[in-house]
A and B are shown apart, each in its own frame.
Chain A
Amino acid sequence: DAKTTQPTSMDCAEGRAANLPCNHSTISGNEYVYWYRQIHSQGPQYIIHGLKNNETNEMASLIITEDRKSSTLILPHATLRDTAVYYCIVRLGAQKLVFGQGTRLTINP
């Protein structure tokens, strides 16, 4: 089973930052936090991942708390195309990705 907890749904206004929380209180020291999203029924799209430090790439930023028990995915300037289901996944090494229900993010005009 997925080892993360996410809100079922969230809304965000277009142009604003979307902050998606994830709880992973049982994460172990070597487990990474991965974020994927799925737009409609398309294939899951990789967004970002991290271990301890905050990470940023062209899509998003990942903020991981110091105790690593939670994290936040930040989409800095959300657009309508960011409407999707976002999955927070904890993964050890080469393990399979275990998808939960994710957060359904709706970007409103």
Chain B
Amino acid sequence: EPEVTQTPSHQVTQMGQEVILRCVPISNHLYFYWYRQILGQKVEFLVSFYNNEISEKSEIFDDQFSVERPDGSNFTLKIRSTKLEDSAMYFCASSYRGRTEAFFGQGTRLTVV
């Protein structure tokens, strides 16, 4: 069964460093998303991406965040200068069309120290 793959599963970084979280969405999917979940809190939407551009973003997704689809398979989330409060699980998701169900990866646990 096709699945969304995220790497790495766990990333530890120092405050102020840049991190790139990587995702391989399901191959025929056209819509891509990033969500995050701070420990013990709700899953929060960050950004959606379609046709090589951001279609929607939340207030969390400020200038420190960016997304890219550098080739036909990868979808990345970059945090330019990490803060302690960026520590969270980051989930990538994809859907075939915007109106169809989204499938999530297993997440990357980002720990900023």
A97 / chain B contacts, CB cutoff of 8 Å: 35, 43, 45, 102
Task: Give chain B nearest CB distance to A22 CB in angstroms.
Answer: 16
Question: Bound complex: CA of A38 vs CA of B103, how far in Å?
Answer: 12
Chain B 59-113 interface residues, beta-carbon cutoff 8 Å to A: 89, 91, 93, 97-99, 101-107, 109
Number of residues of chain B lying within 8 A (CB) of chain A: 28
B18 / chain A contacts, CB cutoff of 8 Å: none
| CB pair B56 A96 closer than 8 Å | yes
A34 / chain B contacts, CB cutoff of 8 Å: 101
Q: Is the interface of B mostly helix, strand, loop or mixed?
A: strand
A44 / chain B contacts, CB cutoff of 8 Å: 35, 43, 91, 93, 104
Question: Bound complex: CA of A22 vs CA of B99, how far in Å?
Answer: 21
Question: Bound complex: CA of A38 vs CA of B107, how far in Å?
Answer: 12
Given contacts A44-B43, A99-B43, A99-B44, contact A94 B98 (CB under 8 A): yes
Task: Pull 20 A–B residue pairs with CB atoms less than 8 Å apart, ordered by A.
Answer: A34-B101, A38-B43, A41-B107, A42-B106, A43-B4, A43-B105, A44-B43, A44-B104, A46-B103, A49-B101, A93-B98, A94-B31, A94-B50, A94-B55, A94-B97, A96-B56, A96-B58, A97-B102, A100-B42, A101-B42
